[in-house]
Amino acid sequence: MKRKSIKILTYVALAISIALAAYYFFRTQSLKNKVESSNEELAQILENVEKQQQILSIDSILIEGDYSAALKAYEKQLEGVNDEEAEAIRKRIRLVQSLMYEPQTKVESDTDSVTLAYIDSLEQSTRIATPEEIRQYDSLSFALRKVKVQVNNLQRQLRQKSFGQYITFKSSKGSTVHYVGQVKEGKANGTGVALLKTGSRYEGEWKNNQRHGEGAFYWPDGEYYKGEYRNDKRHGEGTYYWPNGEKFVGQWANDGRNGRGIFYGADGDVVASGIWKDDELVEVDEK
């Protein structure tokens, strides 16, 4: 009778061991599949981010005025992209083509290699995972989900910066404006870059198709202004630079020097300082 009880207990223990082994085996396989799926999704996301970074670098070439190089680079990017990305690139190509044929006049997270090696070794193995290994898989799966969220956020930020909308409109002075950037209610609102038919360009903040906020304006002859704008005109604090090295630092209103300011020569010495009105020095500071 005693032997029979021991035999029954042995069978029960064996059945429980088999059941536990089967549970851990299927649990392990399920977690492996989730990790593999997360790795594939993460790789795809990182690939998309890399594509958008490439587009952003080509945008810089366009802004610098090298239209031919920008056009070739955009056309190359059309290979192997989805419809949404292709349409964003085609808009840029149309912008470059319009600029090339118009006359110009002056007016975060890397995957740990040790962890990857550990995963590979587990995938090669047919042994049943221990509870500790199950917890490690759960921890890794959570880490991958966290990385994916972070990369998705980066992807969205890059899309807003690099794949901004493209619109055209007339400036307050009647010049055709080609704009790439943030758009609200069909108008330039937020941050964006504008290329004018005159050959000039503006980089900065916009409000209802007008330069408004911080920005920088560049003329084809090398002069440029960096500072504040209001209602499409230089207004507030800003600096105007000339190609020969001269510059004016001070206050602006209605597109002209109005208020206190200092004019520097090419050598950096002060040439004139005081109060300005409508671009003229009306009150000189005493030395």
Whole-number Å distance between alpha carbons of 165 and 184: 10
Using a cut of 0.95, tell me whether the model's pTM lies above it. Answer: no
Shared domain for 138 and 169, answered yes or no, is: no
Handedness of CA 167, 172, 174, 175 (dihedral sign): negative
Question: Terminus-to-terminus CA distance in the chain, angstroms?
Answer: 118
Give the distance between the most distant pair of CA atoms in the chain: 119
Contact in structure between 35 and 141 (CB atoms under 8 Å): yes
User: By C-alpha distance, which of 42, 35, 38 is closest to 152?
Assistant: 42
Shared domain for 122 and 187, answered yes or no, is: no
Shared domain for 221 and 134, answered yes or no, is: no
Per the structure, the complete domain to which residue 239 belongs is given by 165-284
H/E segment holding residue 207 = strand 201-207
Q: pLDDT 10s per residue in the chain (287 long)?
A: 555 566 666 666 666 667 666 666 666 666 566 656 655 665 566 566 666 667 777 777 776 778 888 888 888 888 877 777 788 788 788 877 877 765 443 433 444 444 444 444 444 444 454 555 555 545 555 555 655 565 565 555 555 554 578 899 999 888 899 999 999 999 999 999 999 888 899 999 999 999 999 999 999 899 999 999 999 999 999 999 999 999 999 999 999 999 999 999 999 999 999 999 999 999 998 86
Domains identified in the chain, total number: 2
Whole-number Å distance between alpha carbons of 46 and 109: 10
pLDDT tens digits, 167-187? 999 998 888 999 999 999 999
User: Of 161, 191, 211, which closes a domain?
Assistant: 161
Shared domain for 152 and 212, answered yes or no, is: no
CATH of the domain at 252: 2.20.110.10
Residues in the chain: 287
Contact in structure between 155 and 52 (CB atoms under 8 Å): yes
DSSP state of 42: H
DSSP state of 129: P
Shared domain for 134 and 252, answered yes or no, is: no
Shared domain for 9 and 38, answered yes or no, is: yes
User: By C-alpha distance, which of 200, 166, 198 is closest to 182?
Assistant: 166
